[in-house]
Amino acid sequence: NAGVTQTPKFQVLKTGQSMTLQCAQDMNHNSMYWYRQDPGMGLRLIYYSASEGTTDKGEVPNGYNVSRLNKREFSLRLESAAPSQTSVYFCASSETTQQFFGPGTRLTVL
Amino acid sequence: GENVEQHPSTLSVQEGDSAVIKCTYSDSASNYFPWYKQELGKRPQLIIDIRSNVGEKKDQRIAVTLNKTAKHFSLHITETQPEDSAVYFCAATFNDYKLSFGAGTTVTVRA
């Protein structure tokens, strides 16, 4: 039982490049989330998916897209990366209120 | 959406002393308040949570109190140990299961 997994662990991009962050959970949870964490700002919700087939914007969705591929997987895509998207990205999942977090992806955009 | 404020941003305590972190929230409909601990380079992990129908909850050296009327909740760590050094985040629910997080408190326990 791996819980929530994320790939890659680290990534460096140049401005304008695109990439997809992958997240998977094996706890059969309905809800999944993407957060970004910046120093002094806590965790901010980018997008979430309440169930398979649905997605919705969070607090900071601009510059991102998501796909809920199936119940297990929820991916986050940066179409044209910007230096302001340098951050640590966490995926999480939940069945009710308690959220379980993945190990994070540290992204640097040059 | 929900606005969660957390104080202090940093806290240094002597080993064995108590640490208290306070949070306020804005949405009176919030009904679930978790606390997460994040060690350097690691993922946030839930350490304790409280629901709106309970005023206080305790788990060994950790306790959380909730004042719904004043819209604030607090984390209390007693008999602090070096392994309690970490960043602590409070959060509150809004619109069902979504969480809004505070900015975090860096706790340092001095030996």
Between CA B111 and CA B57 the distance in angstroms is 28
- More confident site: A69 or A61: A61
Asked if A5 and A23 touch (Cβ cutoff 8 Å), the reply is: yes
A37 CA: distance to closest CA in chain B (Å): 10
Q: What is the pLDDT of residues B78-102, one digit of tens each?
A: 999 999 999 999 999 987 778 999 9
What is residue B90's predicted lDDT score, i.e. its pLDDT?
A: 98
Nearest C-alpha in B relative to A59: B1
Given an 8 Å threshold on Cβ–Cβ distance, is B98 in contact with A48? yes
Q: What is the mean pLDDT of residues A20-49?
A: 95
Residues of chain B with pLDDT under 70: 1
Residues of B in contact with A101 (CB under 8 A): 43-45
Between CA A58 and CA A104 the distance in angstroms is 18
| Share above pLDDT 90 across residues of chain A, in percent, rounded to a whole number | 91
User: Is A38 in CB contact (< 8 Å) with chain B?
Assistant: no
Nearest C-alpha in A relative to B92: A97
User: Is A88 in CB contact (< 8 Å) with chain B?
Assistant: no
Asked if A73 and A7 touch (Cβ cutoff 8 Å), the reply is: no
Residues of B in contact with A96 (CB under 8 A): 97
Asked if A89 and A76 touch (Cβ cutoff 8 Å), the reply is: yes
Could you write out the three-class secondary structure of chain A?
CCCEEEECCEEEECCCCCEEEEEEECCCCCEEEEEEECCCCCEEEEEEECCCCCCEECCCCCCEEEEECCCCEEEEEECCCCHHHCEEEEEEEECCCCCEECCCEEEEEC
Residue A74 has pLDDT above 90, yes or no: yes
What is residue A15's predicted lDDT score, i.e. its pLDDT?
A: 98
Q: Which amino acid is at A53?
A: G
